[in-house]
Amino acid sequence: MKYPSWINGTWHNSFVSDTRKFVFWTFANDSIYIENGLHLKKSERKCLAQDYVGYIIAEYSDDKLYRVSFLKGFETAVYEFKKDDFKNKPAFTISLTINGIKKVEHSISAFVFYLNE
């Protein structure tokens, strides 16, 4: 995957007070990783593409949007990451649409921080 440079790094929903509901999105090494809970072990994070083995991957990006679509026959899953600013800090909104039906739209800001990958 080739995502835009503005999204590179690790993001999480920092305004959630229950650490069990933390979600970390890491964009590194041409992959997207998801991790729930505390961000303690790289081995516990999941590569998004593993859910879509055998799917065609289509990507679109500009300076405020990154969209990755996974296509296989009549099945589609589209993840959109929209860049925004929240209190002068970078943030994004994520949405997931499956087969044309929006399943998730998470608008709570997620701030970027960089880890040694």
The pair phi, psi for residue 68, each rounded to 5°, is -125, 130
What is the spatial distance between Cα 11 and Cα 22, in angstroms, rounded to a whole number?
10
pTM above threshold 0.85: no
Write down the pLDDT at residue 117: 38
Distant-in-sequence, close-in-space partners of 101: CB < 8 Å, separation ≥ 6: none
- What DSSP state is assigned to residue 63? S
Q: Could you read off the pLDDT of 30-57 as tens digits, one per residue?
A: 889 888 877 666 667 889 999 999 999 9
What is the spatial distance between Cα 59 and Cα 50, in angstroms, rounded to a whole number?
17
Q: Could you read off the pLDDT of 18-28 as tens digits, one per residue?
A: 777 778 888 88
> E strands along 4-110, which residues?
9-12, 23-28, 31-36, 46-47, 56-61, 65-72, 75-86, 89-98, 101-106
Total number of domains in the chain: 1
Question: 19-24: long-range contacts (C-beta < 8 A, 24 or more apart)?
Answer: 23/106
User: Is pLDDT of 115 > 50?
Assistant: no
User: Is pLDDT of 114 > 50?
Assistant: no
Q: Could you read off the pLDDT of 62-108 as tens digits, one per residue?
A: 998 999 999 999 999 999 988 877 666 667 788 888 999 888 776 54
User: Is pLDDT of 12 > 90?
Assistant: no
